[in-house]
Homo-oligomer: A and B are copies of this chain.
């Protein structure tokens, strides 16, 4: 590690969070985890696993039954065929990213990632002593990485795309996704599709990268749509020839994910419950987007995830200061854009709608007051 690990930065949002936690009556519009519970079936399966003493290690690649259930989910939901042996269970998607990036990046094979994007991507590259290659994916490219950008870069080991995206809530167009995968494969670059916000889609329809190629690496997990963040269970779907390598890495760096939580996750694919989750977040998105679009400029129309990426430049160019003052003066917590990169992030903030409507309403009221509207 040595040099690059020193460049891992704490999230600004974490400092805001810890300040917000010490204050009374804060409206939380900064939190990136769902407030809804998983289904009762999940909870009961978890209790049963604990009652039955399922406390031994699972295989490094995960519980067979869970891998099969996930493969089945791809068949039903996306109409793609995935052999269960290609499904690898990991300690959250964090674990999946770490294993995937360890296989695809190093000093000479860089990680191509969009700006703005989830801050852990670049920090994981630093952790692995690989210098990330950041390319713009903001307003100027309709919040997508362009296939041209991938075509033009050299020395890249993997490219990572998240759709719906954190922090913008944007979906990649089907054609862009297909073309990105094609270009990546032509160049021998691994395409990593972060699909953690799949399911939380309110406009259009999300498509798994596996629809376009079996060589795409898909990463997903139970922390968002499935409302099980503290379970720390994720998965990754790999091309068959990489499974053994990933297994060996996992044996050594994790052993396996938590065992009872894996048993619980087998019951997570409960369509009725999941559709209820989606509807709840869609209502919140509808409310918050319409309430904020008169207040800020929001050209990234939020189509999925639970975020809104708002341009505050009509008020200030200092998003961090804006967030700090908003918290101190009105007790509303939001995330400054700079956590997500440097592409126009100084005048953007990210809202999360991971709280109920009445809390969101009160948040909007305070923001309008803060701005003198």
Contacts and interface: CB of A to CB of B under 8 A. Distances in A.
A248 B9 contact: yes
A184 interface: no
Nearest to A102: B1
A108 B2 contact: yes
B252 A124 contact: yes
A106 B1 contact: yes
B106 A2 contact: yes
Interface of A: 1-3, 5, 8-11, 14, 33, 37-38, 43, 46-47, 50-51, 53-58, 91-92, 94-95, 98, 102-103, 105-109, 119-120, 123-124, 127-130, 227-232, 247-249, 251-261
Given A43-B50, A47-B47, A232 B251 contact: no
Contacts of A129: 1, 106, 128-129
B55 A251 contact: no
A248 to B, nearest CB: 5
A54 B56 CA distance: 22
B258 A1 contact: no
Contact of A229 (B43, B56, B120, B253): B56
Contacts of A108: 2
Given A55-B38, A258-B230, A252 B8 contact: yes
A37 B8 contact: no
A230 B57 contact: yes
B251 A10 contact: yes
B232 A103 contact: no
Contact of A260 (B1, B46, B106, B248): B46
